[in-house]
Amino acid sequence: MNGDRLSEQVEYYRARAPEYDDWWLRRGRYDAGPEHTAQWKAEIAELRGAVEANGVGGWVLELAGGTGSWTTMLARRAAELTVVDAAPEALARNRRKLAALPRACPVRFVEADLFSWAPDQRYDLVFFAFWLSHVPESHFGAFWDLVASALVPGGRFFLLDGRYDPAVAGLAGSARPDGETSVRELADGRRYRIVKVFREPDDLALRLGELGWSVTTGVTGPSFLYAHGSRALG
């Protein structure tokens, strides 16, 4: 069952690439009104502040880079950047955004399934946004082994993700999943099953601590959580 959902999840994000930025910018069918949009933008600004405060530099790996909502920020601060995503349509949009930047570090794009990909070098920072919630529980430990294998000694990770917000639960397919599975509908009516596991900071910190990570977590409000850390010493 996991294999079917994970394959369908890739197909969903390939098909969704043309409308992903509408979700990120709260346009069209993703517009829940001016109050929600203002809060959403304020929380994004807080997220960006948290990323900057944690520091972005050196060799950076972005997992599930998508259409580039965060790639452009990383590319302005890293020495070198590798971006991995399974959807070529999303990577194409990502490349166009980077090409429009007046200044960016060297960027390497890798089209690959993160559930079977292995890094070919080590990095100072591994960054991923809105990805961990698409990792099923059966793959949770293996995914964090991947993160560990991609980091230099003393290297750090930074993640951010969505929280379950009842106020916008019915907005364009964002309802709470049934178990780990959520059914998402695109603007043209096509429907896909994807993995969606909403996690909260305290539980996430506990889980990662059990896997040997030293972690700091936080939330910006009802929309987002973030976490950063490194492998625990000792």
Mean pLDDT of 82-86: 98
Rounded distance between C-alpha atoms, residue 60 and residue 186, angstroms: 32
Contact 88, 106 (CB under 8 A): no
Range of the domain at 95: 2-231
Q: What is the share, in percent, of the chain residues with pLDDT greater than 70? A: 93
CATH number, domain containing residue 225: 3.40.50.150
Task: Encode pLDDT of 10-56 as tens digits.
Answer: 999 999 999 999 999 999 988 989 999 999 999 999 999 999 998 89
3-state DSSP assignment of residue 162 = strand
Can you give the pLDDT at residue 232?
77
Task: Encode pLDDT of 205-227 as tens digits.
Answer: 999 999 999 999 999 999 999 99
Residue 176: pLDDT band with limits 50, 70, 90: low
Task: Encode pLDDT of 118-127 as tens digits.
Answer: 999 999 999 9
Contact 212, 147 (CB under 8 A): no
Contact 16, 186 (CB under 8 A): yes
Can you give the pLDDT at residue 164?
84
Counting the structural domains of the chain, the total is 1
Query: Is this prediction's pTM over 0.85?
Result: yes
